[in-house]
Structure 1
Amino acid sequence: MTDTPSTSQRVELARFLRSRRERVRPADVGLPAGSRRRTPGLRREEVAQLADVGVSWYTWLEQGRDIHVSEPLLERLARALRLTPTERAHLFELAHGRPAALPVSSPATVRGVLQRILDAHPFPALVSTRRWDVLAWNAAAAILYGDFGRFPAGRRNGLWLMFMDPERRARMPSWEADARRTVAGFRLDAARAANRREFDALAAELARVSPEFARFWGEHDVAESPAGSKVLVHPDVGELEFEHVTLHYAEPEGHVLRVSLYTPQPGRSTERARKLFRLVTR
């Protein structure tokens, strides 16, 4: 990862900016169309004005020159050119050689197709936001962890429940190790957010009510955990060991959701899981 784009990236960035500029109509951004325009879309000086940058600087950028571009400036360009979330991410990739900071977004529900995918998965599955607020789950997840619907929306959060839900904690024989990994993963996601205030607000509130969380949070550990294993004990069938993976699902509106899928380890855990989750469909 680097903040210095290669020559080929600068050339591609120049072409991308010009193509986006030519697609924006003056009327789209509140400018008069005029009768003497020789090229489609906006002029370079108009983009510079909308993004609050110098005309020469923007011209150099469209010429593929080797100049530094800050994140705030890229954000202003993205707004001026009315880029979609996907186009914004591409702009950052070209200009910095790395993705843009991920926006914090908290939709209230998930799309029907995503809920149907959860419901079709035979083992626990759930969807949460970047801040780990749980939006949707299937019946197997409710059997394993307890019904998420019993919590108000503000408390239906993976980090909060790890420390504040006694039922979940009682089912985790390796709770401390799992909790430490959870805190380290949450800290990493907070650092990747374009605005981490919602993350920090949750952490501050949790630190006031959980000395254990305050201690783990104060250690400043970070961890990338897109996949792993977890042991849980359910009162109906005993110990279960799951493999789990968390995937990122980007919606057209720019929301980035976490889709977590569980599957039992082969052998006794699979047998017990099948017995447990058959209870869901009776």
Structure 2
Amino acid sequence: MNTELREFLTSRRAKIRPEEVGLPNLPGTRRVPGLRREEVAHLAGVSVDYYVRLERGRSVNVSESVLDALARALLLNETERTYLYTVAKPTRRTRPMPPQRVRQGLRLAVESMADIPAMLLGRRMDVLASNMLAKALYKDFDAAPPHERNMLRYLFLNPAAREVYVDWEDGARNSVAGLQFYAGQHPHDPELAKLVGELSVRDADFRRWWADHDVFRHGYGSKTLHHPVVGEITVFYESMIPRDEPDIMLAMHTVEPGSPSEQKLRLLASWAASNVDAKQSVDGVAELHGS
């Protein structure tokens, strides 16, 4: 049974108001929100029996023309369309996923970006590498053990994240939807199952938003963060996929030239550099005494 397809079709159908697709919505005539199965079937031009089998995750070899029709009927955006096509025709993984490794040149490229916060995000939004400014921008993130450095864990399990994000809910919901999109591409990832299980048990917001089955692709945008040293800072973010690394995303943060945020980013860079110098001095003294 195709659980991902079943749950996605059900969730999309429930989100559409009948009037959005030209259907009447008379008071007292609908027992559940959204469209009925037979209405989706009619809009997509397929039989009710066929659509019911699809929504129950029992149909295989669904054609692209049917998926196109369903995408139009359910008013899917481009990201949702991509997700539908992926989960409707899942690939079978015969070998376990190997641990991710970041090649040295890519890691050095990120660390050498001295003027902007940058990080490499891997599967499940694991943080594989980050530069000094990224570590300074996200309060307390670098304190987590390396195997726990994951943006979802940070957002939902680290209390500092709710102070850092001015609009925490927007950032958190987009991250959940981004993980849902990843799940459609890698449904057999055992580490994904562990992460979803852990977050579902420990946070009610994650559990509720995961059940919504919204999908999102992190491309670009802006967000405002509150840093304990420099105050509020608004950054643009751009996400890129390095060549030959389809499961790694380069996330870069920039600021508007001449803006207060640019001044604050420079102050943050100075503060972070002074902290590094202070730590190196303490480590040097410790080594001297230890010798």
The TM-score bracket by the shorter chain reads 0.5 to 0.7
Secondary structure of 2:229 counterpart: coil
* Cα deviation, residue 240, structure 1: 0.4
Give how far 1:225 is off: 2.4
Residue 272 of structure 2: aligned partner: 280
TM norm structure 2? 0.57
Q: In the superposition, relative to structure 1, how do residues 124 and 171 fare at CA in structure 2: closer, same or farther (>3 Å)? A: same
**Aligned with 2:201: secondary structure?**
helix
Instruction: Name the counterpart of 1:179.
Output: 172
Distance in 2 of aligned mates of 1:235 and 1:148: 13
Cα separation, partners in 2 of 1:271 and 1:198, compared to 1, 3 Å: same
Percent sequence identity over matched residues? 31
Query: Residue deviations 1:211-243, cap 9 Å, x none?
Result: 111111111111222111111011111110010
How far apart are residue 162 of structure 1 and its match?
0.9
Gap runs ≥5 in structure 1 = 1-67, 69-95
Which residue is 2:230 aligned to?
A: 237
Judge conservation of contact 1:250–1:257 (CA < 8 Å) in 2: no
User: Matches of residues 188-267 of structure 1 in structure 2 within 5 Å?
Assistant: 188-193=181-186, 195-251=188-244, 256-266=247-257, 267=259
CA contact (8 A) 1:105 1:129 kept: no
Residue 246 of structure 1 aligns to a residue whose secondary structure is strand
The 5-angstrom pairing of residues 76-91 of structure 1 reads: none
Cα displacement (A) at 1:176: 0.7
Structure 2 CA distance for partners of 1:113 and 1:147, relative to 1, 3 Å: farther
SS in 2 for 1:249: coil
1:1-282 equivalences in 2 (<5 Å)? 105=97, 107=99, 109-121=101-113, 122-146=115-139, 148-193=141-186, 195-251=188-244, 256-266=247-257, 267-282=259-274
1:277 maps to a residue whose letter is A
Distance of aligned partners of 1:137 and 1:105 in 2 relative to their CA distance in 1, 3 Å threshold: farther
8 Å CA contact 1:119–1:139 kept in 2: the answer is: yes
Letter in 2 for 1:156: R
CA RMSD of aligned residues (A): 2.8
TM-score normalised according to structure 1 size = 0.59
Query: In 1, distance between residues paired with 2:159 and 2:179?
Result: 20
CA contact (8 A) 1:190 1:199 kept: yes
Find the aligned partners of 1:129 and 1:235 in 2 and give their Cα distance.
Answer: 28
Q: Cα distance 1:112–1:146, how it changes in 2: closer, same or farther (>3 A)? A: farther
Could you give the per-residue CA deviations for residues 147-200 of structure 1, whole angstroms, max 9, x where no partner exists?
544212332111111111112221111001111111111101110126344323
Work out whether residues 106 and 255 of structure 1, in 8 Å CA contact, stay in contact via their aligned partners in 2.
no
Is the Cα contact below 8 Å between 2:167 and 2:224 reproduced in 1? yes
Structure 1 residue 106, shift from structure 2 partner: 5.7
Structure 1: 4+ residue segments shifted above 6 A: none
- CA shift digits 1:40-86 (9 cap, x unpaired): xxxxxxxxxxxxxxxxxxxxxxxxxxxx9xxxxxxxxxxxxxxxxxx
Q: Distance in 2 between matches of 1:217 and 1:166?
A: 20
Can you give the 5+ residue segments of structure 2 that lack an aligned partner in the other structure? 1-60, 62-85, 275-291
Task: Name the SS of the counterpart of 1:127 in structure 2.
Answer: strand
The offset of 1:100, in angstroms, is 9.0
| Aligned pairs, number | 185
